[in-house]
Chain A
């Protein structure tokens, strides 16, 4: 402590960091000053360059220009190993844990206690227990990681970092997967860490949380640091405008276009996963011209519900009716031909053939549609024409329609998917996280096209983790919790925080109108 008082150095200082990837400048002059013993938040939109910056700091790659100073000393990390030995630890957004290994195996990996050859398993366990006790992060070292919940996994990640003697801890979007109660537990742990002399770097785009927990905030936009502020000086809206660089677009739906024609009717749907119900007795109805929003913390059965409606997962009981036709026992292909459009949550995994050209990706999901086929043949000329139209109307930035889909950025891939589904004239659209991970411009465009389609009579089932989006777009909202619909709400009156308390079960259905 006294040393710090004598030499007022910063824990981390970044000067003019530039990092280029082929054709892209991901970081273009980033400056950052992190005081020791603080929680420092870095906020920015998806795609602003936060992750690139953190990888630079963690030695996963090297910056093309600029200087990194740790405790005032210029440093160059050739690999994560160097960063670790300099006392930097990183907790990744996607957990870096092997499911089939135990907690202790995951924690000590790469830095195992014991002799040169042999593992000292006892020591590994006791070290973990000690860190666990000191920082109030309860875990069982012998449990298999596959059996842990999300919050526990995150604790394992933090222990992993602490056990390696990290004094500077980077957390990448740590609250994205946590329920509010777990978030407050995490924040308590972070405060403990800082009290014990650590420095925490906290990356997020959830502004309320940042304002709650951070001592300092740095805003990053389009690869550059644009502001360094204190939480006391700003409110969430100002912070958001700093992030976006302009007035915020809002996802508000205008006048109601809801008809009383039922497009999709789900009744009593139960889906089992390994004999365990993941969707329990769900009934819902979407009318033509209506957007029904489903709110829920991730992993509460949304995915399985959508899969069952799409027909790629079989319900154990219940009925699905599409435009009056019972499709419960019918194939996915039948349902898609009957007019179900699908914007998958994980576009690369479920929505695209990454190494196929764009025009084939536009055919994907509609390969039996008369728009692209002549009898058993694929009509390549028409498919290409449609692709050009999608690229044009949905502003997909691409050098051509023959490039592979993986060449496009995330936002452009998403616009391609949305365009493909919209131009196929669906009757019911299943949209899961339609604007996740894409830039503001593309987001606004997608909202606009959803509204437009709704006006023309499309029924939309919308699942989103973005509560503003849900409230702004939906005509009706239902909340899913542990596989059950627990509330139906009016988006005109509900606030994000109300919605949040329904999602976590803090408020129960009885109170809803």
Chain B
């Protein structure tokens, strides 16, 4: 049974003239094809799990809409981590920078409307970034320490500001900004997903297909619905930042310089690249992106809320590591976290139970992979984990909501555990650099 549902594995070694071998070759040379094949494989597994667990919500349109939305703040935090670590500065302070972003977004949104909230958020976050740069680049404070300090400071600052600015205005309190009048616009694709086309309410074929429960086809349609229906412009902005970051980092002079700082600052310095300045720029961009992530959260509910960041900065950091410090990888990582969140938050426990089935497949594949590479201890561990997931799936009918709460974090840990050795962080990451050093 399992053999038929395995997604195509790029690591399976085949003769190059076989079909899979050719596909593998094509995939290696074409990033878009690779992404498509991996997405389809992922949907295939979900489709199988959906059928076996009888959890239609797993791949429904609304689930993916929620997941795509929930991806955005994590993705923005992840891209933020990437820009900082690409200039060699570890950023644990993402969470605090997001908190600053939410406050300023809440304030600006209340005062000047939703688009101003985006600018406010970016501004607030970049203040945090500048502070981190000042401490780590100029003063050489340990990067983890500075990040922790920013996480500790940000909530205090925002609470003080709230007490001064929000309390007594509308429904504003010390924990919450007054609700903003407008919300950010949303977009639905015409013709595919029922969006308006010059006032004409177009049909919604994807939505219809996704509700038919056709194996794999409906699931794929549900996935596409997620990207084409009721998407907030802020979400669209976040997603567009992925190709934009690819362009910036690999096709712009600025990006090359940025990356060189994280790899070998002394080389960049010897060629006249202003290392300190680039570090400041990278870390400030990082702060601004965190702030945008905060603004996304604020715009989602039209108000600043004291605890609304709720660990997304840390998830973003995890997504960055998962994504090997590359934008598309970070998108994948944040998408996975967001998907498990969307399942837990919107749909209760049955789909999460089905996730254990997905976990079973995933670990089975990993175990087979390890076996092929003759890594027997790893293979055995993975097989045991897979068996455990299957056992849990078959023996449980209801999962406690508190266990559901921890799912994304466990997923993160598991991913880190099994991927940390193939990762390649920027070589100079975390190392303080002083001008004149040879290292």
Distance of A350 from chain B, by nearest CB (Å): 15
Check if B40 is an interface residue, CB within 8 A of chain A: no
Residue B267 is within 8 A (CB to CB) of chain A in the complex: yes
Q: Is the CB of A84 within 8 A of B253?
A: no
Determine how close the nearest CB of chain A comes to the CB of B102; give it in whole angstroms: 32
Which residues, 285 to 311 on B, are CB-close (under 8 Å) to A?
Answer: none
Which chain A residues in 91-142 approach chain B with CB under 8 Å? 92, 94, 96-101, 105-106, 108-112, 114, 117-119, 121
Q: Cβ of A401: which chain B residues have Cβ within 8 Å of it? A: none
Tell me the smallest distance from the CB of A355 to a CB of chain B, in Å: 13
**Which residue on B lies nearest to A111, using beta carbons?**
B271
Answer whether A118 and B264 are a contact pair too, CB < 8 Å, given A60-B436, A79-B272, A98-B427: no
Which residues of B, 401-439, contact A by the 8 Å Cβ criterion? 424, 426-427, 436, 438
Task: Tell whether, in the assembled complex, residue A112 and residue B256 are in contact, meaning their CB atoms are under 8 Å apart.
Answer: yes
Give chain A residues whose Cβ lies under 8 Å from the Cβ of B269: 80
Given contacts A110-B273, A117-B253, are A101 and B259 in contact (CB under 8 A)?
Answer: yes
In the complex, chain B residues whose CB is within 8 Å of the CB of A99: 263-264, 427
- B residues 11-57 near A (Cβ < 8 Å) are none
Residue from the list A61, A101, A108 in contact with B263, Cβ < 8 A: A101
Cβ contact within 8 Å between B271 and A94: no
On whether the beta carbons of B251 and A118 are closer than 8 Å, the reply is yes
Chain B count of residues within 8 A CB distance of the other chain: 24
**A81 lies within 8 A of chain B by Cβ:** yes
Task: Please determine whether A98 and B264 come into contact, CB atoms closer than 8 angstroms.
Answer: yes
Query: Which residues of chain B come closer than 8 Å to A485, judged between CB atoms?
Result: none
B174 within 8 A of A: no
Contact of A61 among B267, B273, B436 (CB under 8 A): B436
Interface positions, chain A 45-61, Cβ under 8 Å from B, are: 60-61
Chain A residues within an 8 Å CB radius of B256 = 101, 105, 108-109, 112, 119
- Interface size counted on chain A using CB atoms at 8 A: 28
Which listed residue (B253, B255, B270, B438) contacts A80, Cβ 8 A? B270
Known: A98-B427, A100-B426. A84 touches B264 (CB 8 A): no
Q: In the assembly, what is the distance between CA of A101 and CA of B268, in Å?
A: 12
Interface residues of B in 232-274 (CB under 8 A from A): 251-257, 259-260, 263-264, 266-273
Q: Which residues does chain A contribute within 8 Å of B427, judged by CB atoms?
A: 98-100
Contacts of A109 in B (CB 8 A): 256-257, 260, 267-268, 271, 273
A96 touching B267, Cβ below 8 Å: yes
> What is the distance, in angstroms, from B428's C-beta to the closest C-beta of chain A?
9
CB B422 to nearest CB in A, in angstroms, measures 13
Assess whether B263 is in contact with A100, with CB atoms less than 8 Å apart: yes
Q: Which of A94, A110, A112, A160 has the most CB of B within 10 A?
A: A110
Report A463-497 CB contacts with B as 1/0, cut-off 8 Å. Answer: 00000000000000000000000000000000000
Bound Cα distance from A112 to B257, whole angstroms: 9
Tell me whether A171 is interfacial, beta carbon within 8 Å: no
Rounded to whole angstroms, the CA-CA distance of A365 and B57 in the bound complex is 61
- Most B CB contacts (10 A, CB to CB) among A94, A101, A121 go to A101
A110 to B251 CA separation, bound complex (whole angstroms): 14
Interface residue? A266 (CB, 8 A): no
Check if A453 is an interface residue, CB within 8 A of chain B: no
Q: Which residues of B contact A118 (CB under 8 A)?
A: 251-253
Residue of B nearest to A85 (CB): B272
Cβ–Cβ contact A80 & B271, under 8 A: yes
Complex: A105 Cα to B264 Cα, angstroms = 12
The distance in angstroms between the C-alpha atoms of A315 and B267, with both chains bound, is: 35
User: Does A90 interact with chain B (Cβ within 8 Å)?
Assistant: yes
What are 19 A-B pairs with beta-carbon distances under 8 A? Answer: A60-B436, A79-B272, A80-B269, A80-B270, A80-B271, A81-B272, A94-B438, A98-B268, A100-B424, A100-B427, A105-B256, A105-B260, A109-B271, A109-B273, A110-B268, A110-B273, A117-B253, A117-B254, A119-B253
Which A residues fall within an 8 A CB radius of B?
A: 60-61, 79-81, 84, 90, 92, 94, 96-101, 105-106, 108-112, 114, 117-119, 121, 160
